[in-house]
Structure 1
Amino acid sequence: MKSFAKRALFQALRVALVAVTVSLAVQTYLEGWKKPQPVVIESRVEINETFQPKLPTEETPPLKTLWESIQNDPSLSKFAKLVGEFDDIVGGLRAPKAQLTIYAPVNEAFDKEEFPYDLPWFYWKFLVGYHMGKGGVSAQGLRSQNTVSSFVNADIFFKNQQRISVQDNADSVTFNFGSKMISSQPAVNGHLHIVDRLLMLPDSAADVLRYTPSLGIFRQGLIDTGLAEVVNDTSTHMGQTLFVPTNAAFQQLGPKVNAFLFGPGGSEYLKALLAYHIVANETLFSDVHFPAKNGEQVVFSRETATHPVEMPTLAGGHFISASSILESSTGRRTLAVNDEWKVSRPDIVVMDGVIHEIDAVVLPPLMQGDGQLGKQKLDWWSIVKRTMNLDGGITVEELMERLQPLIESEGSSR
């Protein structure tokens, strides 16, 4: 309980730095309703016309506003009471011309969480703001979304909104890997999705790594090399992207390589290897990019099948590439790292960026003849051998050769 209270208090204090974000987001959006606005539909294509609800017939009752829908549902009374504390948010939910998406937790969802009794008012406002976002996204539309936006700010510059991760399972849609959509209904000003768990404000990357056993080797490596201080200290970066290999991915390297990396003679190589998986000051989701230098977020177009992004890592600035690839069969996007490995569990939203779980340890490309890093193209048998750890995986000598340029770059930058 102490650890939870400490994390909740830390979240609340960080929230205090930008406590007006939700109000500003709602008020700014309300200002736009004074004139016709494009309506955002699930395919993220915009139609330049004002939203016109369908006229009711004898068979179909008239649509309610989102606020009316929430108030009239007894299973949402706790959420309605919480939202009702904030007049500016209620005003947005009442506005007929708005287009919003609400993820409303049922009453039982509140009983599944533990809250310290002394959380300040702005924590609750941010919690409410994380359960809604601009644009109307239907239940069917969610199945082709990787992430959706909330009204909570992702940084102190008021440019990028924190995302909610969406998973399309065979029988349901879930959010942030834990909150299941129970039902959905349209409203005159958007869509209301009822969920069985609260969408808690995201934990820090440090907390997510700490409480995910399958990522324990990566976390231990961060601690051993001192990189944990960089990753965990949110004051040193404005967003970050972590490609985190699973424990099984490290085991694929083979016992000799792991003994070397985590032994006394391999510490600098381990640091270079892990640093190559970390990008500071840029947050790359599978469908949205928050660039460095306070740049505006980039939503990947559905008209373009592949969106490659190259980002400097903590390994002496050496770049890692990630391509967002649109899958035609599902309409969803996947991330391919260095044109070689697909991310297995994407878009783990954290307070200070995003984590992508990957089933392989990503090695930098091979050196070309001119001394520059080049793309490595593996044949199918090489990929099979690495995936199944045939022949004992990569050798220690091969690993050292691949990582040496990163170590030299790090040394020259000091």
Structure 2
Amino acid sequence: MKPFAKRVIFQASRVTLVAVTVSLAVQTYLAGWKKPQPVGIDSRPIFDEKATPQTLWDEIQQNANLTKFAKLVGEFDDIVGGLRAPRAQLTVYAPTNEAFEHEHFPYDLPWFYWKFLVGYHMGKGGISAEALRSQNTVSSFVNADIFFKNQQRISVQSNSDGITFNFRAKLLGSQPAVNGHLHVVDRLLMLPDSTADVLRSTATFGIFRQGLIDTGLAEVINDTSTHTAQTVFAPSDAAFRKLGRKVNAFLFGPGGRAYLKALLSYHVVSNETLFSDVLFPTKNGEQIVLDLKSASNDVSLSTLARGHEVSVRSVRHTSGDRRVLSVNDEWEVSRPDIVVMDGVVHEMADVILPRIMDGEDQLEKQRGWWSIVSRSLNVGGITVEDLMERLQPLIENE
């Protein structure tokens, strides 16, 4: 069976009880829909800047570059009704006809897969292109948990080259509508893969992935029956190399297995999903928007290293209103908000080490200033002895 088909079956089995998620999300938000009109084809550029704003459905229908997306959306009367409701406020991320040519779909996908796919291309609230530049993530209409409390996110990247969604779909143009905003993108926003698929397919996570396999933690992370959500702080291969050759030889050798498991466990949070701007709390909790204006927006998350937490803070990036996550006040997330089906993955440029306890802090001072400076600069990494000492409390607790 092809990997894509396996993922679809996996997703289908996981969402059998919530197959009407998109309908419920839209129906909860909108009322008084009318019957949809047939999909029409008109010859227009991506957007006519001088045109009078219409409803989102009218804008999609009449755009010759969006006929494939319009045909797909037109299969679902309830969604079309929402896009035609004048008093709604929605944002749609519409892939061009050419975007569909980049994807290969099995011919026999179930109807609810396509409804999920459509729902992942739109969300509540009208978000303009200008507003997108200060967003780290935006909401879709696809359910993100089995409790119907939170909607799956779409990550947003903004730089000098423009705006990108989920690190793959580039924004081509935007158009206001009477009931929201329509953004045209050059790739489909595919339904997120599982954490296991993302770690497997991302080349920079090779060492981290191998460590999870060696310690048995891969089974915990990959088995979605053991968690409703998760946050994974995944160090890159370069991050592990910063630890130094001797430390890596120890961790991945027979004598370091317990320490490697403790270290990697400290990078995984079960049953809570923390994006750089929104937190989905454990179990049946409503999402919490992290407020940059708050004097303290620290979030303490329990890791798989039982009894040990990481402290994460959402801080303003030096370039403007966008955010970065700071972990334990020492390490910043280098590539945030990699959206996965069962949570989120944040790529780290450094391996996260547990906080130094008060007694250990005094020991650090006794060892001299160069020991502290060299570690902060990753000069020669950390010694095996120091790493063992730092991780010992996690092992004892295990």
TM-score > 0.5 by shorter chain: yes
Q: Is the 8 A contact 2:96 2:184 kept in 1?
A: yes
Partner residue, 2:41: none
Secondary structure (helix, strand or coil) at the match of 1:271 reads: helix
Q: How far 1:306 moved relative to its partner?
A: 5.0
Match of 1:213 among 203, 206, 222: 203
- Counterpart residue type for residue 100 of structure 1: L
Distance 1:162 1:32 in 2: 25
Residues 150-189 of structure 1: per-residue CA shift (max 9 Å, x gap): 0000011100000000000212100000000000010000
Match of 1:173 among 155, 158, 163: 163
Match of 2:325 among 326, 331, 335: 335
RMSD of equivalent CA atoms: 2.3
In the TM superposition, 1:5-404 aligns within 5 A as: 5-31=5-31, 60-304=50-294, 306-327=296-317, 329-369=319-359, 385-386=374-375, 389-390=378-379, 392-404=380-392
- Counterpart residue type for residue 271 of structure 2: N
Q: Is the 8 A contact 2:292 2:315 kept in 1?
A: no
Residues 95-149 of structure 1: per-residue CA shift (max 9 Å, x gap): 0000000000001111101111111000000000000000000001000000000
Distance 2:356 2:378 in 1: 20
Distance 2:32 2:258 in 1: 53
Q: Report the more deviating stretch, 381-390 or 283-292.
A: 381-390
Q: How far 1:299 moved relative to its partner?
A: 1.1
Secondary structure (helix, strand or coil) at the match of 1:11 reads: helix
Q: Report the more deviating stretch, 239-248 or 15-24.
A: 15-24
Q: Is the 8 A contact 2:292 2:314 kept in 1?
A: no
Q: How far 1:388 moved relative to its partner?
A: 5.1
Q: Is the 8 A contact 1:349 1:355 kept in 2?
A: yes
Secondary structure (helix, strand or coil) at the match of 1:307 reads: coil
Q: How far 1:380 moved relative to its partner?
A: 9.9
**Could you list the runs of 5+ residues in structure 2 that have no partner in the other structure?**
34-48
Q: Is the 8 A contact 1:15 1:123 kept in 2?
A: no
In structure 2, the CA distance between the partners of 1:402 and 1:186, relative to structure 1 (3 Å rule), is same
Residues 43-67 of structure 1: per-residue CA shift (max 9 Å, x gap): xxxxxxxxxxxxxxxx954210000
Q: How far 1:368 moved relative to its partner?
A: 2.2
Distance 1:78 1:122 in 2: 18
Partner residue, 1:405: 393
Count of matched residue pairs: 380
In structure 2, the CA distance between the partners of 1:151 and 1:401, relative to structure 1 (3 Å rule), is same
Distance 1:237 1:255 in 2: 34
Q: How far 1:330 moved relative to its partner?
A: 1.4
Distance 2:336 2:369 in 1: 24
Partner residue, 1:36: none
Q: Report the more deviating stretch, 291-300 or 333-342.
A: 291-300
Secondary structure (helix, strand or coil) at the match of 2:92 reads: strand
Q: How far 1:366 moved relative to its partner?
A: 1.4
In structure 2, the CA distance between the partners of 1:279 and 1:27, relative to structure 1 (3 Å rule), is same
- Counterpart residue type for residue 395 of structure 1: T
- Counterpart residue type for residue 198 of structure 1: L
Q: Is the 8 A contact 1:245 1:357 kept in 2?
A: yes
Q: How far 1:381 moved relative to its partner?
A: 6.9
Percent of paired sites with the same residue: 73
Secondary structure (helix, strand or coil) at the match of 2:189 reads: coil
In structure 2, the CA distance between the partners of 1:84 and 1:326, relative to structure 1 (3 Å rule), is same
- Counterpart residue type for residue 397 of structure 1: E
In structure 2, the CA distance between the partners of 1:359 and 1:111, relative to structure 1 (3 Å rule), is same
Residues 328-352 of structure 1: per-residue CA shift (max 9 Å, x gap): 7411111000001110000000000
Distance 1:354 1:202 in 2: 10
Distance 1:217 1:336 in 2: 22
Secondary structure (helix, strand or coil) at the match of 1:292 reads: coil
Distance 1:384 1:127 in 2: 49
Distance 2:387 2:340 in 1: 31
Distance 1:138 1:297 in 2: 22
Distance 2:369 2:68 in 1: 55
Q: How far 1:2 moved relative to its partner?
A: 1.3
Secondary structure (helix, strand or coil) at the match of 1:265 reads: helix
Secondary structure (helix, strand or coil) at the match of 1:118 reads: coil
Distance 2:75 2:369 in 1: 59
Q: Is the 8 A contact 1:306 1:324 kept in 2?
A: no
Partner residue, 2:39: none
Q: Is the 8 A contact 1:313 1:320 kept in 2?
A: yes
TM-score, length of structure 1 as denominator length: 0.88
Distance 2:229 2:54 in 1: 38
**Could you list the runs of 5+ residues in structure 1 that have no partner in the other structure?**
34-58
- Counterpart residue type for residue 189 of structure 1: N
